[in-house]
Amino acid sequence: MDNLVAKYKKLFLIILSILAYIGLGYFVPRENFIYLASLYTITFLCFYYIYKYKMEYDDKILFRLGLLFRFLLLFCLPFWSQDFYRFIWDGRLILSEMSPYAFKPQDIIDSVAISQSKELFEGMGSLSAQHYSNYPPVNQILFVIAAILSSKSIFFSAFILKIIVLLSDVGIYYYGKKVLRILKINPKRIFLYFLNPLVIIELTGNLHFEGVMLLFFVMGLYFFFLEREIISAVLIGLSIATKLLPLLLLPFFFQKLKLKKSIVFYSIIIGLNVLLFLPFITKDLIANYSETIALWFVNFEFNASFYYLFREIGFYIKGYNTIGIIGKITPVVSILIILFYSLYKKNIDAKEMLTNSLIALSFYFFISTTIHPWYLINLMLLCIFTKFRFPIIWAFFVILSYFAYSQTPFKESYVLIFLEYLFVISFLIYESFPKIFKNNSVKMF
pLDDT tens for 201-251 read 999 999 999 999 999 999 999 999 999 999 999 999 999 999 999 999 999
Say what the pLDDT of residue 341 is. Answer: 96
Say what the pLDDT of residue 381 is. Answer: 98
Neighbouring CB atoms inside 10 A of 173's CB total: 22
Q: Does pLDDT of 441 surpass 60?
A: no
Cα 303 to Cα 366: distance, rounded to the nearest angstrom: 10
Least confident of 32-41, 299-308, 310-319, 406-415: 310-319
Q: For every residue of 381-444, which 3-state class applies, written as one string?
A: HHHCCCCCCHHHHHHHHHHHHHHHHHCCCCCCCHHHHHHHHHHHHHHHHHHHCHHHHCCCCCCC
Cα 43 to Cα 361: distance, rounded to the nearest angstrom: 26
Cα 211 to Cα 217: distance, rounded to the nearest angstrom: 10
The amino acid sitting at 394 is: W
| Secondary structure letter of residue 272 according to DSSP | H
Least confident of 3-7, 342-346, 372-376: 3-7
Query: Looking at beta carbons, which pairs linking 338-345 to residues 24 or more positions away fall under 8 Å?
Result: 338/248, 338/249, 338/251, 338/364, 339/251, 341/252, 342/251, 342/252, 342/254, 342/255, 343/251, 343/254, 343/255
Say what the pLDDT of residue 114 is. Answer: 93
Q: Does pLDDT of 330 surpass 70?
A: yes
Say what the pLDDT of residue 430 is. Answer: 94
DSSP H helices, 183-228, are 191-194, 197-199, 210-225
| Secondary structure letter of residue 308 according to DSSP | H
The SS3 assignment for 302 reads: strand
Cα 113 to Cα 96: distance, rounded to the nearest angstrom: 7
Region 352-361: mean pLDDT is 97
- The answer to whether residues 175 and 145 touch, using CB atoms and an 8 Å cutoff, is no
* CA distance from start to end of the chain: 27
| Average pLDDT for the chain | 93
- The answer to whether residues 203 and 164 touch, using CB atoms and an 8 Å cutoff, is no
Q: What is the pLDDT of residues 60-103, one digit of tens each?
A: 999 999 999 999 999 999 989 999 999 999 999 999 999 999 99
- The answer to whether residues 411 and 358 touch, using CB atoms and an 8 Å cutoff, is no
Q: Is the pTM of this model over 0.85?
A: yes
Q: Does pLDDT of 395 surpass 80?
A: yes
